[in-house]
Amino acid sequence: MSKEVLLSLNSVSKTYELGEVKVEALKDTSLDIYKGELIVILGPSGSGKTTLLNIIGGMDRPTTGRVLYRGKDITLFNDKELTLYRRREVGFIFQLYNLMSTLTARENVELATELVENPLPAEQVLFSIGLKDRLDHFPSQLSGGEQQRVAIARAVAKNPGLLLGDEPTGALDYETGIQILALLRKINVDYGATVVIITHNVAIAHMADRVVRLRSGEIVEDRVNLEPIPAERIVW
């Protein structure tokens, strides 16, 4: 695996003001994400992992610190530049799929591919993740696992540099969860995508190239997993 840094967080902190109360979601956090790795960020509820993911994905801005993507500080980006960053470089996968109910599986993917110059063909991506027979189904006609596959296809089809998954298996049963994780690894391998998964499910860490553990807004562990196992062997 090459050690080219794709994204680098330098002393990033994030404070939310809720009325008179200040909540420090992230505290002086530094982290490098390497190109082509599959990284799992672990942490319990309220540990700051979603905040971290949102900052990486250009959906939120840190209170202090710098975030460098391919050497460019995205914290200095204006709204338009941040939008372009998300458009070209980032693919999101959410716990609750968040598909457009009035669009078919294919159209949900096309919604993303229309935004970029060199997308992967929507149908090809949907075929590759096993939704060949579900192209023209609306989300309400799909199972949870199938919906999450569509969400993954939507993220992947843009051919982004970074694929970010926020508890991608959180709403799925065990078998389906495993299938989704295997799919993420497949995408990581087949398309060379850098995948960042945040989860509270410790078992998922076994498939990661690297594991980062967060607690109360701080990184308490950052280790390389020397022997990642295939998703199919994970048990929880």
Nearer to other proteins, 51 or 179 (CB): 51
Strand ranges across the sheet with 72-73: 21-34, 5-18, 64-69, 72-73
**CA distances (Å), origin 140, targets 23, 104, 144, 151:** 38, 9, 9, 14
Using CB under 8 A as the binding rule, whether residue 69 contacts other proteins is answered as no
Place of tokens 């989860």: 199
Q: How far is the CB of 199 from other proteins (least distance, A)?
A: 16
- Angle at 140 (CA atoms; ends 179, 118), nearest 5 degrees: 65
Residue closer to other proteins, measured from CB, 8 or 54: 54
Residue 49 near other proteins by CB under 8 A: no
What size, in residues, is the chain?
A: 236
Are 39 and 208 contacting, i.e. CB atoms less than 8 angstroms apart? Answer: yes
- Based on the shown chain and the rule CB under 8 A, indicate whether residue 107 belongs to the binding site for other proteins: yes
Can you tell me which of 30, 64, 83, 141 binds other proteins, judged by CB under 8 A? 83
By the rule CB under 8 A, 100 interacts with other proteins = yes
List residues near other proteins by CB under 8 A.
50, 54, 57, 59-60, 79-80, 83-84, 86-88, 90, 92, 94, 96-103, 107, 110-112, 114-116, 139-140, 154, 158, 166
